[in-house]
Amino acid sequence: MARQPFIVDFLKNDKGGKIFVSILLVTMFVVPALNLLVPADSFFHVPTYTVTLLGKYLSYAMLAIALDLVWGYCGILSLGHAAFFALGGYAMGMYLMRQIGDRGVYGNTELPDFMVFLNWTELPWYWQGFDMFWFAMIMVILVPGLLALVFGWLAFRARVTGVYLSIITQALTYALLLAFFMNELGFGGNNGLTDFKDILGYDLQADTTRVSLFFLSALFLILTYFLCRFIITSKLGRVVVAIRDAEDRTRFIGYKVESFKLWIFVLSAMIAGVAGALFVPQVGIINPGEFSPLNSIELVVWVAIGGRATLYGAALGAVIVNYSKSYLTAAFPEVWLFALGGLFLLVTIFMPKGVIGLWNQMRLKLQGKKQPIAENKIE
Amino acid sequence: MLSIKELNQFYGESHTLWDVSVDISQGSCICLMGRNGVGKTTLLQSIMGLLPIKSGSIEFNGTTISGKAAEVRAKLGIGYVPQGRDIFGQLTVEENLRVGLSVTGRHTRAIPEQIFELFPVLKDMLHRRGGDLSGGQQQQLAIGRALTLNPKILLLDEPTEGIQPNIVQQIGDIIIKLNEEQNITILLVEQKLPFARRVGKNFVIMDRGRNVAQGEMSDLSDKLVQQYLTV
Amino acid sequence: MRRDKVFDFVEQKRLPFSGRRTVIPGEIDVTHGPILYLENISVSFDGFKALNDLTLYINDGELRCIIGPNGAGKTTMMDVITGKTRPDTGSAYFGQTMDLTRMSEYQIAHAGIGRKFQKPTIFPQHTIFENLELAMAADKRVWPTLFAKINTAQHEKIIEVMDTIGLTELCYERAAQLSHGQKQWLEIGMLLMQNPRVLLVDEPVAGMTHQEMDKTAELLKSLAGKHSVVVVEHDMDFVRSIASTVTVLHEGSVLAEGTMDEVQNNPKVIEVYLGE
Amino acid sequence: MTLSSRKNIQILLSLIFIAMLSAGYSAAALADSIEPKTETSVAIVISFEVATASLTAGSYSDREQVIKKLYTVDDERVLPVLQQMLKSKLYYIKKTKQLVFIKKIDGSYKTTSILNNEDAGLFEKNKLKKVKVNNKLRRLLRGYIAQLGLKSTDDAVRKAAVKQLLKNINAETIAVLQVLDKKETNSSIKELVAAGVSIWNLSSNDKATQLASIKALSKSLVPEVKLKLQEIIEDTEDATIKKAAISSLKKIDSKISIFGFLENLVFGLSLGSVLLLIAVGLAITFGVMGVINMAHGELMMLGAYTTFVVQQMLPNHITASIFISIPLAFLVAGAFGVAIERFVIRYLYGRPLETLLATFGISLILQQLVRSVFGPTNQAVQTPAFMSGSLEINSIFAITYNRLYIFIFAIVVLLLLMLILKKTRLGLQVRAVSQNRTMAKAMGVKSEWVDAMTFGLGSGIAGVAGVALSQLTNVGPNLGQAYIIDSFMVVVFGGVGNLLGTFVGAMSLGVFNKFLEPWSGAVLAKILVLVFIILFIQKRPRGLFPKKGRGVED
Amino acid sequence: AGNTIKVGVLHSLSGTMAISETTLKDTVLMMIEEQNKKGGLLGKKLEAVVVDPASNWPLFAEKARELLQKNKVDVVFGCWTSVSRKSVLPVFEELNGLLFYPVQYEGEESSKNVFYTGAAPNQQAIPAVDYLMNEIGVKRWVLAGTDYVYPRTTNKILEAYLKHKGVKAKDIMINYTPFGHSDWQSIVSDIKKFGSKGKKTAVVSTINGDANVPFYKELGNQGVSAENIPVVAFSVGEEELSGIDTKPLVGHLAAWNYFMSVDNKENAAFIKKWKTFIKDKNRVTNDPMEATYIGFNMWVKAVQKAKTTDVDAVEKAMIGIKTPNLTGGMAEMLPNHHLTKPVLIGEIQEDGQFDVVWETEGLVPGDAWSDHLPGSKDVVSDWVKLKCGNYNTKTKKCSGQNFK
Ligand SMILES: Nc1ncnc2c1ncn2[C@@H]1O[C@H](COP(=O)(O)OP(=O)(O)OP(=O)(O)O)[C@@H](O)[C@H]1O
Ligand SMILES: Nc1ncnc2c1ncn2[C@@H]1O[C@H](COP(=O)(O)OP(=O)(O)OP(=O)(O)O)[C@@H](O)[C@H]1O
Ligand SMILES: [Mg+2]
Ligand SMILES: [Mg+2]
């Protein structure tokens, strides 16, 4: 019984994935059409506001998948994944800042406004090159990847695991948060990077640009899903899960656990970076707040709510929580935290495997299949 | 003293114990046998209250205990030595023994000398972490720990697994001693026939979650062995 | 019978053992007979000596039983061989050339030492099939693993092993569902898949019925010759049924060594281990 | 040069002039006649009644004149009036313009006349008006009070007075000091006086005296001494004096740097004790029970709010309120903890990560709860008298009382907790349950009860930590968020499940931080501490005090 | 659209900024309620649309878009931190919305779509320093701030200003701390040491938000009294003080354009209204509330003047509008979208109120672009004549901000 090629396997066995990808494919084309082609006063018109919002959710969903890859499958609970997201975002933000050119408030051709403002005289070296799109895009992947590589190399080699690993990832993002808050670092301090004008020559405020960004977010999300699905259904995926469940055992049958962890961690960081890069032009700001440890914790919550180790579940969780947030902050601005907190509680108590887990459970029940009680000890 | 009636147990959807009924009278020493995976451990855990049961009843000394929590059953006098020993790894040997004492309100008192008489190793290792002991030492600790509760019945799940021969003998002797001198009822899960024959007075054989044969140890025929204990 | 140290330069060339090179089992130098050299090994935990100046050689293709009281250091010895525990002093060589104390766990596994743990450890969330597949001898680096495919030979091997361990029916069930004894078997199966030069088997028949025990004995005996097998076991019947040479450990060092009969009649062994 | 400083110099010059003239005057007479004499020497002597009467009207500068006049009045009622005025406790009755001292009694004010200390009746606040003072007046008042205070029998008052005098040393102050010195018994005051005299002698024309006093000064840590020495080094042309001054200064500097080191150490330990307090409760709920308790911060917040509520109910017993708050906060936070455990956590044992999710939800709910009940703004929690101020070791080194008490408090809490875990039945059972829940149950341990109690204990301690925090920082809905990350950091750094580790971890992080801060700045220090933690964990992947033994890996 | 005029309220009601911003939300609601009692505006009722951007900057942008595009509000009152304003600014410019920003800030901005009703640096910092220098005779300066843009800019401006006034570099100590800094032991000790050098020393504090409470507590405990080393703060108002035990702080200073303690009829009425509205007789008022009050009233007047809520018309009408402020003067909207304001220096009293000890003679016009920063010396803002928020008088160009 040889294993099937990836695409056959996907079509045959990945029911949830198929639904997930189809929904994305549909929205990917329908939403832009409804925005651009349907007149604004029509009932079917999708306002740009919604398009951008969806785009934001999708980039969050991508981030959630990235985390699910390392946490759900490899058992590395990273409480610092927002850092990679933010770094990708900053790389994109820097490109966008450079595109402003002399359209800043001070009309300085060389320096971004915040540098003029703090009497910087020349562009720091690490800003060089960011006026080129390709360079910035490489950085979007490279910077988070490198950070993950160095950090992961140190941590995995030293066999830091469990909560210890979680907490130092948190320390990492916290340190970056503080560092980026420092104005001297040259990333705009607390105000971050804002007031972007255009991307690749297209006006960021034009509907077409926004729609394209949304389209790209959906596209990248699908690609990410395929990539991750390919990985986890490969033998490497099984090794990774083996590491999660019995790390030592995996070593004793001859796998270099550190390398596997590092590989998956770096890949995940890169995906997070891309998600960040898609996020920034759509929300129009990147500031150190994105490094906040609480963001990373929330991210873990998205994944848990959707359902760990399911990929699309993570994406679903991201959308559910963020949509609830969008909705609740407008509908119940004064008490919405009760609702959100309550949601988290309910999900944990009544849906231990997340929304997708509940769905699967119901399906299994219908099919009357036997399922193991054994604890899924992920840590 | 312990009577199990029509016990059914499920792991999720999978039906593991099927209408198991066993009667254990005061002072008996019953050996529970069966192939791997027939449900011996499951039965013991159900008696101890560590697994929820679907139907059936468990009575202990006349009271129904099937609805009671494990800790209550322990205090009523059911001692349990689990398969795999389950020592409190970070607690010292002494603390492992004190856990049992603490629930009976005697936690300030000294650990009964009797335990050290039975297992002199434990005395030497009193301040070593339980988790650091070798497998055999842990097994001894597990039995000792169960004894701190002053149990009326002792459930032993493969207590000789991984134990050196002379201690296996000792454990056999101890079980007999506990049973005969201190009148503790014994329910022993055992794979090794010689040991089972030596220690047990009665036997129960399980197969695929069912109680398929029982009787006095002398009645354990080769045929039964052939039928239920051979692969 | 110390390990050959005549040519010091030979040793130099091999070190440090590079992580990138995959070691093919064939490279192991057994020209001097033994495949495992444990010399003067001591291990202590918080001052307690678990191994005390232990010296032990295992010959290529040999089936060796190691017995000894609980806490004698048998498991610790295996820990040292597989790189889980680093000895305080002493050396451990695999063949003439590989210094086990300098290799990491996965390198040792790669080099050809496989192990079954005292407490069965398997991958609970994987099916039986996958457990075996993971253990299978193959290129275990990251990228090759990502694109790995099972070929027919490998597939057959898995089927064969599954048959041997009697879990064919449960092939696609998750390992978490197995009972204790079944897990023992699965772990033995994984060991077979690894196809190592040396098998370290820690208490394989614990929790098995007598018949299963016989089956295991058969299996291990059939492996000897092509592989070296080191078995730790307390069940004397089992030991008797398989062993040619038996080593008795006590308090971290060798107490006696010889044939089963020799050992069995050794008064010291009787005193500390066998009993009447 | 600004107007006011020019005036000061004028005053100074005239003082010196007078000093030279009146060398033979008795020192006591001088003491009464410093500063004001230069301006009021021509003024007629007025009575206390007349002087005070004009306090009720006019601008700040009018009042300044009145105070100056008042100071010259030789009347023992002057000092209390000045003191109360300084504390903004001098009022007058709007209707009668009668000046009074006030004392708050059940919402209204009991007044006593400043003239004869007789009862002037009970008034509502709006019937009274304060005699307002600003910083300038306060400074003036403090100076006068200091000089009047030299006669005080209270050591602290005298000390403050002497210190005040040291700020402006001249012939008269020296004369005053010398008189004081003869009667003075308190050694630390004597030291101050000696420093003052030596400083004065530095300006003498006799080189021997100068050198002697320079030498004498090398032992003094009074800040003015250092300034003076620096001045001499810059100004003097005499090489020997310069050399002596430099060597004295060096001695002082080396002492200062020792005390600087001590100061950093003390700062570090006190930061450490705060870290310890915020982490120690978590060391139970997270370290021992394995619950990733994101609501830990909010439980501290509940403790802080408890303090606030207690103070609201006992507005006149601030000191007592703190002592009442400690057990009460324990109970309140503990009760919340038990509730959280009973209604949420207990469904999640064996799923440690789910506890993160659930407690994160709880933390959001608790935050909003506090916001809805108490409002979104911070609440004022008062500092009891015994916790304000500082314990002065010498002129440059002091330990603030609140830090001192918090340090002691943290240690006490830690010790109690260790005792509970090591010596009590609950402690043993907690550890058993946390390691193997099923087996503990099979051993007869009421695991549910143990869980609830343990979580309650950890939460209660968080509450107690909140009481301490209320003395240091904001009491508001964000309190918890501000500390949660740090507390996890400390617990993990120390080694999960090890109280001693938590202690050592907290203290070393505190000290490390405080030694970095002076040269790296606060922001970078914090970052460096985090980087340090990251690197440290590489060396010790299970914290400072890891769990040991072979049981750990499996 | 419809029968109501919609007023968006974009203040954080949760997260770190809720402490400050919730009050402003309530203020807007109070103003709306009152305006409706007066019969509304242009014959329509005002309707508040409250959202919670939760102290999260991307969420601010999202909510701004939601208010403008989905709820179609006619005006928005909102934001506190600079970053929140920066985050929503492009949205307001893109969708041509109208934002009233009620908090003192670092300046260096003037958008067509924003009216800045809080103080610019020249309406707070500089007068405060003047006061300390001239009235108190301060010679040595500690500029302590949280490390973000407002303190950085303000301190840059102040440093330039002090040096210009002849203060030597060694007499200026600058110190930055992270957000929410809570352990002030070392810094206060440093300040004490810096202040023990014989010259009169003062601290100019741009420490933000939550960090103030532990800072003042530490000051009190280490015995830094206002007479020795006064601290003048730009972010500490009545509301912040209501969360601190003020006994040890008496005499420390703050510079604002409004204090609750200012005694006049308008203020008394406002305070009374506020206390009834919020149903809490202990609640205080503060400067950003006054700025909201002024902004709201101005907007009402401008709408009445323009007879429409159309943003362009209202924007035009706004300039030159005068409404009474709460300190007895008139606030006027200048062509640079900033206000004229009096500057008051107050001393902290034991009851948590400020006592005004000094006041500028007349009103100070807000300056969007500081004259003390090299980058912005030459920039001016004028939305009437130049139609530009950042016109460079040297290059004669108006750049950026999407106005081509
Ligand atoms: N946690 C579990 N979830 C699902 N099924 C389980 C679980 N534990 C055991 N089983 C199944 O229940 C059956 C009985 O298991 P049990 O452990 O009681 O066997 P046993 O008789 O004790 O075997 P052994 O002699 O190997 O210990 C087995 O088929 C096993 O696969
Ligand atoms: N990590 C450790 N810390 C402290 N002591 C240890 C540790 N590991 C092993 N020991 C001690 O070393 C001794 C040898 O243990 P080992 O497990 O090797 O024995 P064994 O021969 O395998 O025994 P068994 O037959 O019971 O499995 C035991 O006394 C044990 O307590
Ligand atoms: Mg079993
Ligand atoms: Mg062993």
CA E401/CA E388 separation, integer angstroms: 9
CA D501/CA D507 separation, integer angstroms: 10
Span D475-520, pLDDT tens digits? 999 899 889 999 999 999 998 888 999 999 999 999 999 999 888 8
Phi, psi at C249, each rounded to 5°: -100, 145
Domain limits for position D91: 48-136
Per-residue pLDDT for D33 more than 60?
no
Please name the residues between 60 and 119 in chain E that touch chain A, using a CB distance below 8 Å.
61-63, 65-66, 69-70, 81-83, 86-87, 89-91, 94, 108-109
A353 falls within a domain: no
- Rounded to whole angstroms, what are the CA distances from C254 to B47, C44, C74, C235, C268? 44, 16, 10, 19, 12
What band does D552 get if pLDDT is binned at 50, 70 and 90? low
Give the list of residues 6+ apart from residue C89 with CB closer than 8 angstroms, or none: C40, C41, C42
| Nearest alpha carbon to residue B189 among B215, B212, B160, B165 | B160
Tell me: do D493 and D365 sit in the same domain. Answer: yes
Span A107-135, pLDDT tens digits? 888 888 888 877 888 899 999 999 999 99
Q: What is the mean pLDDT of residues D324-337?
A: 96
Q: How many domains does chain A have?
A: 1
Q: Is the CB of C47 under 6 A from ligand 2?
A: no
CA E253/CA D138 separation, integer angstroms: 14
| Nearest alpha carbon to residue A305 among A287, A288, A320 | A320
B91 and B138 Cβ atoms separated by less than 8 Å = no
pLDDT for the residue numbered B106: 59
What SS3 state is found at B128? coil
Helix, strand, coil shares, percent, chain B, to 5 = 40, 25, 35
Give the list of residues 6+ apart from residue E145 with CB closer than 8 angstroms, or none: E151, E152, E154, E155, E175, E176, E177, E205, E206, E207, E208
- Which residue does chain A place closest to C195, by CA atoms? A253
- For residue E305, with 0-12 CB atoms within 10 Å meaning exposed, 13-18 middle and 19 or more buried, which class applies? middle
How close is the Cα of B86 to the center of ligand 1, in Å? 17
CA C268/CA C250 separation, integer angstroms: 10
Tell me: do D385 and D519 sit in the same domain. Answer: yes
Cβ distance A348 to D530 less than 8 Å, yes or no, reads no
Tell me: do D325 and D473 sit in the same domain. Answer: yes
Span C55-86, pLDDT tens digits? 999 998 899 999 988 888 898 999 999 998 99
Question: Smallest CA–CA separation between B184 and chain C, in Å?
Answer: 25
Span E251-296, pLDDT tens digits? 899 999 999 999 889 999 999 999 999 998 889 999 999 999 999 9
Rg of the Cα atoms in chain D: 30
Question: Smallest CA–CA separation between A318 and chain D, in Å?
Answer: 14
pLDDT tens, residue order, chain A (379 aa): 445 777 887 888 888 889 999 999 999 999 999 988 988 888 889 988 899 999 999 999 999 999 999 999 999 999 999 999 999 999 999 999 999 888 888 888 888 888 887 788 889 999 999 999 999 999 999 999 999 999 999 999 999 988 899 999 999 999 999 999 988 888 988 889 988 988 998 998 888 999 999 999 999 999 999 999 999 999 999 999 999 999 989 999 999 999 999 999 999 999 999 999 999 999 999 999 999 999 999 999 999 999 888 899 999 999 999 999 999 999 999 889 999 999 999 988 888 888 888 888 887 777 765 444 433 333 2
Span E118-129, pLDDT tens digits? 999 999 988 999
Span E214-246, pLDDT tens digits? 898 888 888 888 888 999 999 899 998 888 888
Q: Which helix (H) or strand (E) holds B28?
A: none
A159 falls within a domain: yes
pLDDT for the residue numbered E169: 92
- C119 shares contact with chain D (CB less than 8 Å): yes
Per-residue pLDDT for D16 more than 70?
no
pLDDT for the residue numbered D87: 76
Tell me: do D166 and D282 sit in the same domain. Answer: no
Per-residue pLDDT for D29 more than 80?
no
How close is the Cα of A261 to the center of ligand 2, in Å? 30
D150 falls within a domain: no
Tell me: do D188 and D54 sit in the same domain. Answer: no
Span C118-142, pLDDT tens digits? 778 899 999 999 999 999 988 889 9
Tell me: do D471 and D348 sit in the same domain. Answer: yes
Question: Smallest CA–CA separation between C208 and chain D, in Å?
Answer: 23
Chain A residues close to D356, C-beta within 8 Å: 297, 300-301, 304
How close is the Cα of C269 to the center of ligand 2, in Å? 19
pLDDT for the residue numbered E36: 95
Cβ distance B13 to A372 less than 8 Å, yes or no, reads no
Identify which has the larger pLDDT, D533 or D202: D533
- Rounded to whole angstroms, what are the CA distances from E192 to A48, D258, D395? 56, 17, 12
Tell me: do D414 and D323 sit in the same domain. Answer: yes
What does pLDDT average to in each consecutive run of 10 residues of chain B (231 residues)?
Answer: 89 85 90 87 91 89 88 91 87 90 73 86 88 83 90 91 83 89 91 87 90 87 81 60
D31 falls within a domain: no
- D373 shares contact with chain A (CB less than 8 Å): no
Chains A and D touch (3+ CB pairs under 8 A): yes
D494 and D544 Cβ atoms separated by less than 8 Å = yes
Q: Is the CB of B16 under 6 A from ligand 1?
A: yes
Residue recorded with tokens 């009447």: C276
Tell me: do D232 and D307 sit in the same domain. Answer: no
Chain A residues close to E156, C-beta within 8 Å: 118-119
A260 falls within a domain: yes
CATH of the domain at D485: 1.10.3470
pLDDT for the residue numbered D38: 40
Q: How many angstroms from the chain centroid is the CA of residue A375?
A: 28
Picking from C70, C212, C272, the nearest residue to B137 by CB comes out as C70
- Rounded to whole angstroms, what are the CA distances from B78 to E74, E219, E349? 76, 64, 71
DSSP A71: I
Give the list of residues 6+ apart from residue A121 with CB closer than 8 angstroms, or none: none
CA A98/CA A197 separation, integer angstroms: 10
D166 falls within a domain: yes
- For residue D481, with 0-12 CB atoms within 10 Å meaning exposed, 13-18 middle and 19 or more buried, which class applies? buried
What percentage of chain D carries pLDDT values higher than 90? 33
Tell me: do D293 and D190 sit in the same domain. Answer: no
Chain B residues close to C234, C-beta within 8 Å: 136, 162-165, 168
Q: Mean pLDDT, chain E, as a whole number?
A: 90
Tell me: do D277 and D231 sit in the same domain. Answer: no
Q: How many domains does chain D have?
A: 3
Tell me how crowded residue E62 is: count the other CB atoms within 10 A of its CB. Answer: 28
Domain endpoint, select from D237, D257, D281: D237
- Which residue does chain C place closest to D550, by CA atoms? C45
What percentage of chain A carries pLDDT values higher than 70? 96
D147 falls within a domain: no
What band does D37 get if pLDDT is binned at 50, 70 and 90? very low
A199 falls within a domain: yes
pLDDT for the residue numbered D3: 44
Chain B residues close to D550, C-beta within 8 Å: 131-132
Identify which has the larger pLDDT, D264 or C21: D264
pLDDT for the residue numbered D437: 87
Ligand nearest to the CA of C180: 1
Tell me: do D329 and D398 sit in the same domain. Answer: yes
Work out whether the CA dihedral E78, E82, E84, E88 comes out positive or negative.
positive
Adjacency order of strands within the sheet including C198-202? C113-116, C198-202, C228-232, C63-67, C245-250, C253-258
Tell me: do D211 and D347 sit in the same domain. Answer: no
Question: Which tokens hold the place of E382?
Answer: 């004028």
Per-residue pLDDT for D152 more than 60?
yes
- Which residue does chain C place closest to B133, by CA atoms? C71
Partnered with residue D364 across adjacent β-strands are none
- Of B96-100, C148-152, E40-44, give the lowest mean pLDDT range: C148-152
D497 falls within a domain: yes
Span C154-164, pLDDT tens digits? 999 999 999 98
Does the interface ipTM go beyond 0.95? no
- A3 shares contact with chain C (CB less than 8 Å): yes
| CATH number for the domain running over B2-229 | 3.40.50.300
Task: For an interface test with E, give the residue of A174, A195, A325, A329 to mutate (most E CBs within 10 A).
Answer: A329
H helices present in chain A, as ranges: 6-13, 15-36, 48-68, 81-100, 113-117, 133-157, 162-181, 207-233, 235-245, 247-252, 257-283, 293-306, 312-331, 336-350, 354-367
Task: For an interface test with D, give the residue of B75, B78, B90 to mutate (most D CBs within 10 A).
Answer: B90
pLDDT for the residue numbered D8: 55
Work out whether the CA dihedral E25, E28, E30, E32 comes out positive or negative.
negative
Chain A residues close to E61, C-beta within 8 Å: 283-285
Identify which has the larger pLDDT, C76 or D166: C76
pLDDT for the residue numbered E120: 92
- Of B35-49, D73-87, D269-283, E10-24, give the lowest mean pLDDT range: D73-87
Q: How many angstroms from the chain centroid is the CA of residue E308?
A: 28
Domain limits for position A96: 6-336
Chain A residues close to D372, C-beta within 8 Å: 334-335
Residues lining ion ligand 4 (Cβ < 5 A) are C 75, 118
Cβ distance B163 to C70 less than 8 Å, yes or no, reads yes
D471 falls within a domain: yes
Please name the residues between 293 and 332 in chain D that touch chain A, using a CB distance below 8 Å.
294
pLDDT for the residue numbered E375: 78
Picking from A2, A238, A374, the nearest residue to C124 by CB comes out as A374
Amino acid (1-letter code) at residue D267: F
Span E87-113, pLDDT tens digits? 999 999 999 999 999 999 988 899 999
How close is the Cα of D118 to the center of ligand 2, in Å? 86
pLDDT for the residue numbered D107: 67
Work out whether the CA dihedral E261, E267, E268, E272 comes out positive or negative.
negative
- D368 shares contact with chain A (CB less than 8 Å): yes
- D230 shares contact with chain E (CB less than 8 Å): no
